Structure 1
Amino acid sequence: MNAPIETDVLILGGGPVGMALALDLAHRQVGHLVVEQTDGTITHPRVGTIGPRSMELFRRWGVAKQIRTAGWPGDHPLDAAWVTRVGGHEVYRIPLGTADTRATPEHTPEPDAICPQHWLAPLLAEAVGERLRTRSRLDSFEQRDDHVRATITDLRTGATRAVHARYLVACDGASSPTRKALGIDAPPRHRTQVFRNILFRAPELRSLLGERAALFFFLMLSSSLRFPLRALDGRGLYRLTVGVDDASKSTMDSFELVRRAVAFDTEIEVLSDSEWHLTHRVADSFSAGRVFLTGDAAHTLSPSGGFGMNTGIGSAADLGWKLAATLRGWAGPGLLATYEEERRPVAITSLEEANVNLRRTMDRELPPGLHDDGPRGERIRAAVAEKLERSGARREFDAPGIHFGHTYRSSIVCGEPETEVATGGWRPSARPGARAPHAWLTPTTSTLDLFGRGFVLLSFGTTDGVEAVTRAFADRHVPLETVTCHAPEIHALYERAHVLVRPDGHVAWRGDHLPAELGGLVDKVRGAA
């Protein structure tokens, strides 16, 4: 019998979140193995937009450029439009420019990117490389004192092999067998709903639309046809989401549904039709012993706003450095527990914001006369547009507070008590627990490029006490880099003379004076205090 495979981290599931964790562990030179039951081929892509914080992480892991150049046309509008039908009356539009013409926001070097899952999956698989094992099934696992013993089967050959991993991370989907095996509940927070995603090709639709093309078309036809029809590749591939509010909707002909949604008499080829259940769940716990949950195994939420996968990628980045620190021996005994402490509140916040977006679509009125030609129809559509503007519909497509605004308030975040000042919206901040702000150090180098491996002490205009900090970290074998910055505009953004940034890019501590007890600071941020 073959000897067991030995690895530090066994990742169950090769979806975007599992692959993100693999990239983070590779970035930290941590041994890992990804087990994926399928062959990795995506025939019915669900993920389409990579959020800006995820793109910042992909920048760290070296694949952001590949995602941006995967194939989305730079001249295709990124707008969201509310329409009676695609090609019919347009009621309301949020102009968002194109990938080529929009300005990069001041708060990030990496705006969101369009990369449907059938492009993203092979791209990430190439980046992960030989550590990904497709067509491999996890049969069982059991926890031992110092490792997890798992059994996997190669579905191509039928051969079974044992794997000994220090930790197991389950990214095995919303119905997660691993979560269930651990006895961890994920109770529903809102009513489960049923939808159909119809994937179709309409090669002439973009040219027929001309200047009216958009990334999202929110239909205003009926209770079932009020959800987005989305451009997937910017050429001719589209996805129509249909609400299944009664049994008859689950059997309606998919071609006829697309014909109802599109006003043009144009070539349409239905490629696939998939029914799925929308659940709103957050697991009661994100770990048990040496097994951790992330991605849909830990939290499922409405796709409205595009927060789901991006929440999972953020969780992977949080867990990755904590696993690496523990495996390297410099983490304190409390560090891994802060994964749930920090990421579970983020999942709940993202879930509720996504549900607000969903309810906005579900509850939208479709008044009689909305489809009428002539002055009466125009008046009705103008009134609906005004309601959409007041409803906060723009938040679904411009939500920096959700992507960047999570401030961790955990046992490894320290510093002076600070109160967030209400400014009418999210703004970048270097408060302890917040994502360290982006600013350009050079035309191509961001402050974010300083962070991502060990801790970084960023000091502004002074090196007083920095040598002592270096010794305190070295005494505990905690990796630290020190950077002195003399740019007054960046100092103004970070607000203090010294800012300590964690390996995931969140602020651990800041102050104008370094603490007298530096060992206590190091122990706090590594989970040993």
Structure 2
Amino acid sequence: MGKQVLVVGAGLAGLSSAMFLAQRGIDVLLVEQRADTSMLPRAVGQNQRTMELLGYGGIAEEVPTATPTTATFRIRIAASLPGPAFREELPDAVTADTGILSPAGTGTAGQEKLEPLLRRRAEKLGADLRFGTELVSFSQDGDGVTAVLRESGGAQTTRVRADYLVAADGNRSRVREALGVDRHGPGGLGHNISIIFDADLGDLVDPQRPTLHVLHNEQVAGVFVTMDHAIGRHLLTTAYDPAKGQSPTNFTTARCAELIRVITESPNLEPAIKAVVPWEMAAAVADRFRVGRVLLAGDAAKVTPPSGGFGGNTAIGDAFDLAWKLAAVLDSTAGPQLLDTYEAERRPIADRVVAEALRLLADRGPASPAEGTEQISDQQRAVELTLGFRYRSSAVIMEQDDLADTEDPYRPTGRPGFRAPHVWFRRNAEKLSTINLFGSNFVLLSGMAGGFWAEAADKVAARLGIAVRTHTIGAGSAETDREFLARYGIGTSGASLVRPDGVVAWRTADAPSDPAQVLLDVFTTILAR
């Protein structure tokens, strides 16, 4: 049996990969040894960048989002839920107005709710998803990957041939280990137990004020969050230490109930324990994201502590980047070298988010950080990481002597490598954001005097066999034109080329003497033709 792409693992990275690939017409098979999607909210919340990508995938409207009254997500560090807080972390005024950054909101779904959405969408788009199926072994050659699969608990195996394999099989990735890829970073940070339980906690939890409780007392060192206010479902995660003889077997139903009574200060509470799941906290980044025809994504490529919520968001970012590049290579509109840009672009992002998650983890102890140690807030850092990131690779034509790796997304510059800025404009009677134009093909944006770019793009697209959409922004609105030109850093006859992932690939301030030839050279470089 042959497939274009085999995806191993059905976490956020794997399911997103299957969805984005199937959306691009790729024949994709996903295998997962578990029987179903996760029931744990391991990754909670979707930042605006992730919601943009999920919008491109067609499911953003199904993801619950924060409203103005619930957007004030706070982190409360205390010994218990009703006890006094050691301190609280609240959104600051600098990053409060996220509406000027993107038309997308922020999602509030836990992994246990997002994975089924991804699964249904991937299946609807034609992806072949096989739960209860494990990867036994694989090998690769110059033309593809041969994998041996087996239904969980069964003896009979099946051989599958694929052009490429996406390893999304988690922190302890067997694919990564089989490839001999080492990792850098602290590695294991501790052992944890997640307890899902139902209980009516009354005024201890406020559905109008989502809160992550970071708890520190003699019996519990961990976090508490409400998963579903409607049914009173909550999650308590606490650490245990094997060096002290502790193990998951210590967390009996009675022991879990007692810990819940401790954090709620409710000695008579009888919580209904729904699940008790052990897991390891870790921080590490793979030294390589691509080995031949095998590419690592999600926790197989990097794993972060849960602080900051970067892990799941970064996994979906990996998936989108891989999907458009794999699709371009598989349909021969790009050379295989385009896949080298996946590691060049995504591994620096992984290093940054792991470092930030570790910093946040260290700052969320019972003691307050020393005064004067923070120059910018956690919210500002997060916004720059998720919307002010920069890619550097052969798929971006950088401007000379431009060494910046991040920028303030509230003051976008439109420079190549950065995410294309959000600007509102009108097309006919419809109000759109520039962000709404991306996600599928390359898009060439120009100012009011740049109508000639459409003809040039059509010539290049026909010659290379690629799809390029062109848009003249601001026609009929001087205000929109000024904002667009300022944010994208071009003149009225200039142009900005935006990749399918919404990242600026190239720009020119003014019209060159031969626009078609310039575009041809640009696409030839970006697509490794």
Tell me the TM-score range normalised by the shorter chain. Answer: 0.7 to 0.9
RMSD, aligned CA: 3.0
Task: Give the deviation of 1:500 after TM superposition.
Answer: 0.2
Q: 1:297 is matched with which residue: 289, 295, 300?
A: 300
- Whether contact under 8 Å (1:81, 1:214) holds in the other structure is no
Q: Identify the match of residue 445 of structure 1 among 432, 436, 453.
A: 432
1:40–1:121 Cα contact (<8 Å) kept: no
1:15-65 Cα shifts (integer Å, max 9, x gaps): 111111111112211111111111114333312222221111001111011
Structure number having the greater strand percentage = 2
Answer yes or no: is 1:283 the counterpart of 2:292.
Answer: no
C-alpha spacing 1:494/1:282, structure 2 compared with 1 (3 Å): same
CA distance in 1, matches of 2:207, 2:413: 38
Per the alignment, residue 181 of structure 1 pairs with 178
CA 1:55 to 1:257, structure 2 compared with 1: closer, same or farther past 3 Å?
Answer: same
Which position in structure 1 is the counterpart of 2:495?
498
Aligned residue in 2 for 1:372: none
1:55 aligns to what? 51
Counterpart in the other structure of 1:258:
260
Gaps of 5+ in 1: 366-383
Flag the 1:308–1:181 CA change in 2: closer, same or farther, 3 A.
Answer: same
| Partner residue of 1:430 out of 402, 414, 430 | 414
Mapped to 2, the partners of 1:480 and 1:284 lie a distance apart of: 34
Residue 225 (structure 1) shift: 3.6
1:395 — aligned with what? 378
Give the match for residue 237 of structure 2: 241
Contact 2:396 2:417 in 1 (8 A): yes
TM-score by length of 2: 0.85
Please state if 1:507 is matched with 2:504.
Answer: yes
Q: Deviations over 1:435-467 (max 9, x none)?
A: 111223357632112111221110111223442
Residue 312 of structure 1, CA deviation: 1.4
CA distance in 1, matches of 2:146, 2:29: 13
Q: Which residue, 392, 395, 411 being the options, matches 2:394?
A: 411
Instruction: Say if 2:350 is the partner of 1:347.
Output: yes
1:174 CA drift (Å)? 0.9
Distance 1:279 1:83, change over 3 A: closer
Q: Name the CA distance, whole Å, in 1 between partners of 2:208 and 2:81.
A: 9
Worse-matched range after superposition: 258-267 or 307-316 = 258-267
**Does structure 2 retain, via aligned residues, the 8 Å contact 1:229–1:238?**
yes
Aligned partners of 2:205 and 2:226 also within 8 Å: no
**Matched residue, 1:12:** 8
Give a deviation string over 1:42-93, Cα, whole Å, max 9, x none. 3333122222211110011110111127x99986963222233101113433
Instruction: Find the aligned partners of 1:11 and 1:425 in 2 and give their Cα distance.
Output: 33
Counterparts of residues 110-509 of structure 1 (less than 5 Å): 110-129=104-123, 131-155=128-152, 158-187=155-184, 189-190=185-186, 192-209=188-205, 214-222=210-218, 225-235=220-230, 236-245=232-241, 247=244, 250=247, 251=250, 253-265=255-267, 266-362=269-365, 364-365=366-367, 384=368, 395=378, 399-417=382-400, 418=402, 420=404, 427-442=411-426, 445-461=432-448, 462-486=450-474, 487-488=480-481, 489-496=483-490, 497-509=494-506
Work out the number of aligned pairs and report it. 497
| Aligned 8 A contact 1:304 1:396 in 2 | no
Distance 2:263 2:345 in 1: 42
Kindly indicate whether the alpha-carbon contact (under 8 Å) linking 1:87 and 1:209 is maintained by their aligned counterparts in 2.
no
Return the offset for 1:226: 4.6
**Counterpart residue identity of residue 525, structure 1:** I
Q: Is the 8 A contact 1:415 1:432 kept in 2?
A: yes
The one-letter amino acid of 1:437's match is P
- Whether contact under 8 Å (1:330, 1:526) holds in the other structure is yes
Q: Relative to structure 1, is the Cα distance of residues 444 and 138 closer, same or farther in structure 2, using a 3 angstrom cutoff? A: farther
Q: Choose which of 79, 83, 88 in structure 2 pairs with 1:88.
A: 83
Tell me if structure 2 keeps the 8 A contact 1:204–1:267: no
Distance 1:140 1:86, change over 3 A: same
The structure-2 alpha-carbon separation of the partners of 1:394 and 1:259, relative to structure 1 and needing over 3 Å to count, comes to: farther
Distance 1:436 1:323 in 2: 22
- Give, in whole Å, the separation in 1 of the partners of 2:143 and 2:282: 35
Moved more, 387-396 or 38-47: 387-396
| Contact in 2 for aligned 1:83/1:92 (Cα 8 Å) | yes
- Which of structure 1's runs of 4+ aligned residues deviate more than 6 A? 71-74, 421-426
1:42 to 38, 44, 51: 38
2:453·2:470 contact (CA, 8 Å) conserved in 1? no
The TM-score, its normalising length taken from structure 1, stands at 0.85
* One-letter amino acid of the counterpart of residue 435, structure 1: R
Q: What letter is aligned with 1:326?
A: V
Q: 1:273 to 1:421 in 2, by over 3 A?
A: closer
Between the aligned partners of 1:258 and 1:334, the Cα distance in structure 2 is: 53
- Report the CA distance between 1:141 and its aligned residue: 1.5
Matched position secondary structure for 1:335:
helix
Q: In the aligned structure 1, how far is the partner of 2:404 from the partner of 2:226? A: 39
Instruction: Measure the CA separation in 2 of the matches of 1:422 and 1:314.
Output: 17
> Given that residues 192 and 281 in structure 2 are in contact (C-alpha distance below 8 angstroms), is that contact kept between their aligned partners in structure 1?
no
Distance in 1 (alpha carbons) for counterparts of 2:68 and 2:379: 22
What is the DSSP-based 3-state SS (H/G/I as helix, E as strand, rest coil) of the residue aligned with 1:227?
strand
CA deviation profile, 1:292-319 (whole Å, cap 9, x unmatched)? 1111111111111000111111111111
